[in-house]
Structure 1
Amino acid sequence: MMKQYNEAYELDIQVLDLYRQLAVDHPEKFQRRLAAALWNLAWSLNEFQKHGEAVVVIQEEVELRRKMVERNPETAVDLAISLERQSEYFINAGRSPEGLHSSREALKIRRALSAKDPETFNAGLAESLNDLANALDKCGQALEAIPFSDEAIEIRRRLASKDPSAFEPDLACSLYNHALHARKAGRIHEAADSSREAVEIQRRLTLNNLERFNADLADYLTRRALLFNLCGRASEAIPFSREAIDIRRQLAAKDPSTFEPDLVNSLQDHALHVEGAGGVEEAMDCRWKVVEIHRRLARNNPDEFNPHLAESLYDLAYDLDGCGRVAEAIPMSWEAIEIRLKLVAKDPSIFEPHLANSLHRHASYLKNVGRVDEAVACSQKAVEIRRRLAGKNPDEFGTDLALSLHGLAIDFDACGLVAKAIPISCEAIDIRRQLATKDSSKFEAALAFSIHNHAIYIGKGGRTAEAVGYNKFDADLAESLSKLACDFDACGLVLKAIPPSCEAIEIRRRLAAKDPSNFEDVLACSIDDYAIYARKAGRAAEAVDFSQEAVEIRRRLAGNNPDKFNPDLASSLFYLAFNLHASGLVLKAIPPSYEAIGIRRKLAAKDPLTFEDDLVYSLHNHAELLGAAGRMDEAFKFRRERDSIGSTLSAKSSSLRL
């Protein structure tokens, strides 16, 4: 691939030099050809990720077309098209304000043309509106994109009503883009409606012309699935991504060279969706299929497909590790590294970041199987590459460098080389402080992790007094993680709640080991919360184990200070009974439920306003348990006591019914 690109680049330069000279001598005859040659070269540079060079070339083309418009105003549409392309290249090169300026100038030209001749130029105006909306979205201005997107849809609806076969595909495209803008702007229902309409149009087009539109239908199904996933609704994405895979399998069976790359993309997307819905094994099956296809494609065309093979191996290794099969992940990860080393030898500017990613990830796999010395070597290589990259472009690569430094410090510590871990950890903290200053919402959590680990290193290094200053961050970090887990759960994303909840428990265990009087209570809170998330995620047995641990901690605390901790003990007993019942262990659920009632009766006798509702919940659910166990007479007594209290179950009690 790179060899072909280099050969094409040399030819493009030769053609440009020739046309430049001819355009000087005969501008009217050769300026248009020179502009076309500049357009082609800029496109090639952009495709090969050489965005800065693409901008330089497209700028020359735009200036040339300005001169052509001065001589012949009818070429204004060509200038608009070049400005739209220039906008894209500016944004790709990280020069968003200039990109938006180009896009707005193109729209101004298109509006003027459309005002004079709407029949001819309305289609181009819609395209320009669509492009400006996309440019605004890429610059983080999704809300500002929506009016332009709306206007593009309105024009394309009118065009499609007159000529559906010509303009309905463009209308579907605008509707899908609008869905993306609306989602990012928080207008979820609007996004869902636009996406649904886009797919409906594409289905209709496919029914009328399967040969022409089936591939496009697969594209729109893929995009609708992606939209659901981006909205945190991965399970709803799955049927659409499956349908896209089915279509692309059929297309690839007829024309593998054209459609197998698209099939690979669908399999990769589907893996993300099912993974997000908790289907790790199915995701891994997709990753295996992707690797198989890429191996075959890379054998026939290594220049083009080796980068894709490396990426699919990298993803597969990650999934294998996530399933606890790290020993299988290591050879896949190493194969990706070997491919990327060869790619870097040919073009370091494109492939070194990917090599650093592979080395960083590989180090973690090695560490997980106890090969710590090898992990350190990989981490050091990743740091070396990322230092070099961040030295040239700190905005793009500073975050990755901090991540690698953080990982290397962990690896040094695991090898017993804490003295080497400390300066590396300091460097990671310095970078993350700078990043958090610019964007606290994005980088403060990572900074907190680095500070937390640094406290451990300096404590191990004998610098205890210094370590004390860092320990307060642990408690704050655990609190933030607990809140994050709670927010995920409140949004219906319980699978995403589990990892931060686990991290909060891990931190609070360490804090409680050092200072039980201050931290055992919050540890029990975290454990109770985790039990709730585990049960909601269908992991009832795990929920029971955690609930039992919370009860043990709170029983001990209540033994020392019943007035303070008995309410929490009753709560933990209540949830233990709840989780035992969810596991089908009704008889085992009855004793902790009854114990919770005993505690809550005493609490309600002293303070009915605070504790009566809790007692009602316990009585209600205990009656349900007894009924499930066939002990109807006892269940009736508890229901009667519940009713005699004179307090009806509040709306929230219904959510706790067993």
Structure 2
Amino acid sequence: MAEAYPLKFQENHKSHWARTLRNLGLAYHQIGDNTQALDYAKHALDIYARLAQDKPKRFEPDWAMSLNDYANLLSDKGDNTQALDYCKQALNIRERLAQDKSEDFESDWAMSLNNYANRLSDNGDSTQVLACAKQSLDIYARLAQDKPKRFEPDWAISLSNYAIRLSDNGDSTQALTCAKQALDIRERLAQNQPERFEPGWAMSLSNYANALSENGDNAQAIDFAKQALDIYARLAQDKPERFEPGWAASLNNYATYLSDNGDSTQALVYAKKALDIYARLAESNPKKRTADAERSQLNVAMLAWLITGAELVVSAEAAPDSALDYDRRPNRFYRHVLLAWAANDPAHAANALENAWQAWGAMSKAQQKNWENIFLLACGFAAARAALPPAFGTWQVQLTQFKTRRKAGLPQWMEEIARRKGFALV
């Protein structure tokens, strides 16, 4: 009779298998195949869960890591409720581990707090999200004081995340302060180790530009967005497979701030460059980049309309799909709003608006926050035609809050669209 493998060998074999499955899941995620990524991640999670039940001291950290991976993949798919549940499980384990051995597990706990804040935001919980992001920030700040070389990068990330949450909660002034702190840290790190920290510096430049824009400082937003764009352009020349998506996003951001400041002509130049990159990326990786390419195409159509004054040309939705990928849902909303503005027939405009409201309802709270400007324009357009659904009757209050956050008023492109379509944003 053959000798059975020792228990320790079996455990090691299973943990190696789980690690391999996890790596496969991450690899499929990188190429945009979220279905395969979820399958592999779930398989790894199930193995780690069983191992952790038998030997919690050895395998609970891996179980928490796997729960976190699976939550992030569910979030990418748009399954926000389940993502929140798995993320909370990971957070609970890491919090308990950190209470027992803070020096080993506090950083993981802080990471899970940040992730949980992100998932709460996706589910529209603006109260808890700020508290979790702040708790994570406090932990990283303390860790960075003791071990700056190890934890300053995490502290900067946490500052950036907290700035975004503050902005989401309407505190644009404090958000600007935190975004600037993160930028200062990442700039210093990038000066010392550019190959490691320049991408983070570029990201913080973009975040700070967004915070400046939220505070109505369009001129400075343009300046910092251009700095981010220049870094991404250089990085993308050296490593296009890694940095071209960031370069395209930075081109789009720069175009947005130019348009906010009334320079739609220059904005269109940069938006077209972003579209060229995204269209090429979508050809080689449609699952991951189609949403970006669609959004860029719609941006170019709107900017071209603002510049020329000719008809707004937008292609109709190819085939309505109730199960549209999560990251493409805002594109559906955007497309139907543009189709409503382009329609010469009131009945066609009304039909496009109805489709837009349905698309809006399918978006997460976080997505709705990011598309608030287009939503407010759609509401103003519909209200002027007595076609606003009762559910959106408080849109003017939301508009006032939007203006207050920006301080310097509305982006100029919003005012120009309202003028062209004959409604007032007051």
Question: What is the TM-score normalised by the length of structure 2?
Answer: 0.74
Taking the aligned partners of 2:286 and 2:372, their CA distance within structure 1 comes to 33
2:381 to 500, 504, 507: 507
Greater length-normalized contact order (CA 8 Å, ≥ 6 residues apart): 2
- Aligned partner of residue 278 in structure 1, secondary structure: coil
Taking the aligned partners of 1:219 and 1:374, their CA distance within structure 2 comes to 40
Would you say 1:90 and 2:24 are equivalent positions? yes
Query: Which amino acid in the other structure matches residue 80 of structure 1?
Result: K
Of 228-237 and 337-346, more deviation after overlay is shown by 228-237
2:165 to 263, 273, 280: 273
Taking the aligned partners of 2:323 and 2:56, their CA distance within structure 1 comes to 42
Taking the aligned partners of 1:402 and 1:435, their CA distance within structure 2 comes to 15
- State the match for 1:471 in structure 2: 349
Would you say 1:342 and 2:234 are equivalent positions? yes
Distance 1:417 1:87, change over 3 A: farther
1:302 CA drift (Å): 0.7
1:395 CA drift (Å): 1.5
Distance 1:228 1:307, change over 3 A: same
Distance 1:415 1:406, change over 3 A: same
Would you say 1:410 and 2:302 are equivalent positions? yes
RMSD of aligned Cα (Å): 4.6
Contact 2:19–2:44 at 8 Å: present in 1 too? no
- State the match for 1:318 in structure 2: 210
- State the match for 1:327 in structure 2: 219
Query: Which amino acid in the other structure matches residue 416 of structure 1?
Result: T
Contact 2:64–2:91 at 8 Å: present in 1 too? no
Taking the aligned partners of 2:37 and 2:360, their CA distance within structure 1 comes to 42
Query: Which amino acid in the other structure matches residue 81 of structure 2?
Result: K
Contact 1:79–1:106 at 8 Å: present in 2 too? no
Contact 1:267–1:287 at 8 Å: present in 2 too? yes
Structure 2 unaligned regions, length at least 5: 405-426
- State the match for 1:606 in structure 2: none
Distance 1:139 1:369, change over 3 A: closer
2:394 to 499, 522, 529: 529
2:81 to 161, 177, 184: 184
Contact 2:116–2:132 at 8 Å: present in 1 too? yes
Would you say 1:353 and 2:245 are equivalent positions? yes
- State the match for 2:415 in structure 1: none
Distance 1:124 1:350, change over 3 A: same
Distance 1:353 1:327, change over 3 A: same
| Superposed counterparts of 1:491-502, under 5 Å | 502=376
Taking the aligned partners of 2:207 and 2:337, their CA distance within structure 1 comes to 29
- State the match for 2:421 in structure 1: none
Query: Which amino acid in the other structure matches residue 185 of structure 1?
Result: Q
Contact 1:87–1:100 at 8 Å: present in 2 too? no
Contact 1:251–1:259 at 8 Å: present in 2 too? yes
1:453 to 338, 341, 345: 338
- Aligned partner of residue 318 in structure 2, secondary structure: helix
Taking the aligned partners of 2:360 and 2:75, their CA distance within structure 1 comes to 31
What number of residue pairs does the alignment pair up? Answer: 393
Would you say 1:81 and 2:15 are equivalent positions? yes
Identical residues among aligned pairs (%): 19
Query: Which has a greater percent of helix?
Result: 1
1:450 CA drift (Å): 2.1
- Aligned partner of residue 373 in structure 1, secondary structure: helix
Distance 1:407 1:256, change over 3 A: same
1:362 CA drift (Å): 1.1
Query: Which amino acid in the other structure matches residue 211 of structure 2?
Result: D
TM-superposition CA deviations, 1:455-488 (whole Å, max 9, x none): 645x6xxxx5xx6674233441565489789x97
Contact 2:22–2:44 at 8 Å: present in 1 too? no
1:90 CA drift (Å): 2.0
1:266 CA drift (Å): 1.5
Contact 1:87–1:98 at 8 Å: present in 2 too? no
1:328 CA drift (Å): 1.1
TM-superposition CA deviations, 1:88-146 (whole Å, max 9, x none): 222223355477468648967996x999xx6xx6656767766765565455499xxxx
Taking the aligned partners of 2:48 and 2:100, their CA distance within structure 1 comes to 34
2:175 to 283, 296, 299: 283
Contact 1:452–1:470 at 8 Å: present in 2 too? no
Distance 1:292 1:110, change over 3 A: closer
Taking the aligned partners of 1:395 and 1:299, their CA distance within structure 2 comes to 36
- State the match for 1:307 in structure 2: 199
1:394 CA drift (Å): 1.3
Taking the aligned partners of 1:261 and 1:361, their CA distance within structure 2 comes to 24
| Superposed counterparts of 1:151-170, under 5 Å | none
- State the match for 2:260 in structure 1: 368
1:351 CA drift (Å): 0.4
Taking the aligned partners of 2:186 and 2:200, their CA distance within structure 1 comes to 7
Distance 1:232 1:525, change over 3 A: closer
Question: What is the TM-score normalised by the length of structure 1?
Answer: 0.50
Contact 1:448–1:473 at 8 Å: present in 2 too? no
Query: Which amino acid in the other structure matches residue 367 of structure 1?
Result: S
Taking the aligned partners of 1:400 and 1:239, their CA distance within structure 2 comes to 31
2:287 to 368, 389, 395: 395
Contact 1:298–1:305 at 8 Å: present in 2 too? yes
Taking the aligned partners of 1:338 and 1:507, their CA distance within structure 2 comes to 37
Taking the aligned partners of 1:369 and 1:141, their CA distance within structure 2 comes to 34
TM-superposition CA deviations, 1:268-312 (whole Å, max 9, x none): 121122122211111111111111111111111111111111111
Structure 1 unaligned regions, length at least 5: 1-69, 143-180, 489-493, 513-518, 540-658
Taking the aligned partners of 1:187 and 1:224, their CA distance within structure 2 comes to 7
| Superposed counterparts of 1:100-111, under 5 Å | 100=39, 104=43
1:433 to 297, 307, 318: 318
1:215 CA drift (Å): 4.4
Query: Which amino acid in the other structure matches residue 502 of structure 1?
Result: L
TM-superposition CA deviations, 1:421-469 (whole Å, max 9, x none): 63xx33xx4xx53584651887566335324424645x6xxxx5xx667
| Superposed counterparts of 1:541-556, under 5 Å | none
1:258 CA drift (Å): 1.3
1:202 to 91, 98, 109: 98
1:396 CA drift (Å): 1.1
